[in-house]
C-alpha cells in the first residue's frame, strides 16, 4: 500500500487479492465494482467526481482496466484510475489518487456566462468569454481549471 503524504489517502495498492462478488466475471465490471466500493480510500469520492471505463487490455494473463475521471462533467487531465484484474475476477492492483478535499474551483464550468466573463476580465482577458475545457490536478494537489478564452 502506498499513501499520499498530503492527505494519507491511498495512491496504490499492490499485491492484494479482493474477490469480486459472485456473478461478476467481466473485468470491467469487477474493476468498477471495486472502485464503487473502495474508491473513497483513494479520494474518488470527491463531490462531482465520476469515473468511466475507457480502456481494457490484457498483459501477462492480467486485465488492465483504465478509468478516466471527470469533475463536474469535465475531464480531469493527468489523472486516471487503473485496476488490474486477474482471470478469476480478483482485484490484484489499483493505482488511483484524487485529493481528499478538492478546493474551490474557479471559474467553475457551471457558473453563469456573465460570471465567467467577469472572471476573464479580472484575469486580463476583458471582453472575452471563458469556456471551461477541463481540470488539471497539479503536483501540489490543487485542482486548477483549464480554460479557453
Helices (H) and strands (E) counted in the chain, each on its own, are 2, 8
The answer to whether 129 and 117 have CB atoms below 8 angstroms apart is yes
The answer for residues whose C-beta is within 8 angstroms of residue 87's C-beta and 6 or more apart is 61, 62, 63
3-state secondary structure of 68: strand
pLDDT of residue 123: 67
The answer to whether 98 and 92 have CB atoms below 8 angstroms apart is no
In 3D space, the residue among 85, 103, 108 whose CA is nearest the CA of residue 27 turns out to be: 85
pLDDT of residue 122: 73
Spans in the chain with pLDDT lower than 70? 1, 3-9, 99-113, 116, 119-120, 123-134, 136-149
Task: Compute CA 120 distance to the chain's CA centroid, rounded to the nearest angstrom.
Answer: 27
The answer to whether 148 and 131 have CB atoms below 8 angstroms apart is yes
Amino acid at each position: 500500500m502506498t499513501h499520499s503524504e498530503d492527505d494519507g489517502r491511498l495512491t496504490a495498492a499492490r499485491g492484494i487479492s479482493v474477490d469480486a462478488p459472485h456473478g461478476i466475471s467481466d473485468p470491467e465490471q469487477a474493476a468498477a465494482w471495486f472502485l464503487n466500493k473502495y474508491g473513497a480510500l483513494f479520494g474518488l469520492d470527491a463531490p462531482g467526481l465520476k469515473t468511466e471505463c475507457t480502456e481494457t487490455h490484457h498483459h501477462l494473463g492480467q486485465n488492465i482496466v483504465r478509468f478516466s475521471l471527470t469533475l463536474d462533467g469535465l475531464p480531469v487531465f493527468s489523472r486516471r484510475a487503473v485496476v488490474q484484474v486477474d482471470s478469476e475476477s480478483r482485484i490484484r492492483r489499483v493505482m488511483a489518487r484524487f485529493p481528499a478535499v478538492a478546493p474551490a474551483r474557479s471559474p467553475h464550468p457551471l457558473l453563469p456566462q456573465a460570471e465567467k466573463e467577469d472572471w476573464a476580465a479580472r484575469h486580463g482577458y476583458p471582453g472575452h468569454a471563458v469556456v471551461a475545457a477541463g481540470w488539471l490536478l497539479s503536483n501540489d494537489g490543487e485542482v486548477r481549471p483549464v480554460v479557453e478564452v
